[in-house]
Amino acid sequence: MDTGKSPELSLADLLERVETSAIASIKGTVSGILSIISDPAASSSDLIQLIEVDPPLAAKILRVANSSYYATSRTISDIHQALIWVGFDTLKEIILTQKMSELFHDGMSVCGYSHLHLWRHSLAVALLAKTIYRREFGEKGNNAYAAGLMHDIGVIVEDQLLHREFISMVQAMEKSPQALTEAELSLFGYDHGRVGRALAEKWNFPAELIEGIGFHHNPEGASEKHCLFTKTIFIADYLMFEQGYGYVRMPLPDREILQQYVRDLGLQWYALRLIVELVREELGQIEQKGYLAV
């Protein structure tokens, strides 16, 4: 948090500082989960090992397994049983989500920006990106979920490690609205996409995630191979901001850009609107039941 020291850091210095911060403690777990997600040979016992050393996480998984989503006449009290009940993919999502939520602790709120709002935004983008992949492309969407959840990790880093400057920037944006990335570029010389990409590279994330996180505001920067994936994150980010799941007050990019990406992905607006509605309902249920609360 704010150390009271000034000046801005170079990107290299910022990354260096990440290694000794709270972000670093998340790194190991997130990298571990991602390698399990991307490894087809990974087994449920790999995940159970991660869960068993983390009591709050184990409690959350049991809570989900015993929820009405998975309604059953008996009560599940064993992690192995819970795993069978909720399934491997859902379990991975719960772990990843729980670990990420550890980065959003306090109740600080400035000019519409708060950790809670940033957390809701990240989760909303994750769910929307995943649901687009599932319903429109017939894929599991695990990487889309992971990229959505972590796409603004650069914002978390700036907030935690350049706190004073970051908060002044948010306050200045309130008076003269501009895109967050523009404000960051003029203040720090880099934006949160650049920070996220550098971290994802440093942590050896899969290329798809590196690009999805790094270029979510400018998908043209992504390689051809991951361009559509990155555009999906852009679309999810845009639509959830529009739906009130933003975390800072700022003008959205030109809507024509969004429409172009929707065409590039071959998505139909009526289908997309339906998916957004489903995700809003899901978020409402999650918030109501408090499964993924901060």
Give the binding site for Fe ion (CB under 5 A).
152, 237
CA–CA distance, 108 with 191 (Å, rounded to integer): 22
On whether the CB atoms of residues 3 and 72 are closer than 8 A, the answer is: no
Cα distance between residue 253 and residue 87, in whole Å: 38
- Beta strand 113-114 with 109-110: parallel, antiparallel or unpaired? antiparallel
Smaller CB distance to Fe ion: residue 92 or 192?
Answer: 192
Number of Cβ within 10 Å of residue 241's Cβ equals 18
CB of 69 to Fe ion, least distance (A): 27
Closest by Cα among 57, 85, 106 to 292: 57
Neighbour tally for 16: CB within 10 Å: 11
Output the smallest distance, CB 121 to Fe ion, in A: 6
| Chain residue whose CB lies nearest Fe ion | 237
Nearer to Fe ion, 30 or 86 (CB): 30
Q: How far is the CB of 81 from Fe ion (least distance, A)?
A: 36
CA nearest neighbour of 216 among 117, 150, 142: 150
Q: Considering beta carbons, is residue 57 or 213 the nearer one to Fe ion?
A: 213
Q: How many residues does the chain have?
A: 294
Residue with Cβ nearer Fe ion (211 or 237) = 237
Q: Measured from the CB atom, is 165 or 184 closer to Fe ion? A: 184
**Is 165 or 237 the residue whose CB approaches Fe ion more closely?**
237
Q: Give me the least distance between CB of 157 and Fe ion, in Å please.
A: 12
Name the minimum Å distance from CB 119 to Fe ion.
11
The three-point CA angle 217-13-176 to 5° equals: 45
The span from the CA of 269 to the CA of 88, in Å, is 31
| Min dist. Cβ of residue 286 to Fe ion (A) | 18
